[in-house]
Amino acid sequence: MPIYDFSCCNCGARFESVCTYGAPNPDCPVCGTPTDRLPSAPALHGSMARGREEAMRSLKTGTAPCPACAAGRPHTHPH
């Protein structure tokens, strides 16, 4: 069964739940009120995923606190 993302209409809690396509939305596990089903992020498969993986491997790795510094990208830091 697929995993769906839900958001509580009352308290705003976000959670995932495994359920069938046509099943009613589960109640919020925090406050027990109705929920809304959220659009899920698309899964990447095939050539698009391979291109992303190659791009991620090509980035330099480092331990700098700034992601741009760790990747060796040109940028400026605000002072």
Return the percentage of the chain with pLDDT > 90, whole number: 29
The pLDDT confidence band at residue 21, using thresholds 50, 70 and 90, is confident
Cβ 40 vs Cβ 49: under 8 Å: no
Per residue in 37-68, pLDDT (tens digit) is 988 666 666 655 566 666 666 665 555 567 66
How many other β-carbons are positioned within 10 Å of the β-carbon of residue 37?
14
Phi, psi dihedrals of residue 51, rounded to the nearest 5° = -65, -40
Helix (H, G, I), strand (E, B) or coil at 49: helix
Q: Taking the model in full, what pTM does it have? A: 0.50
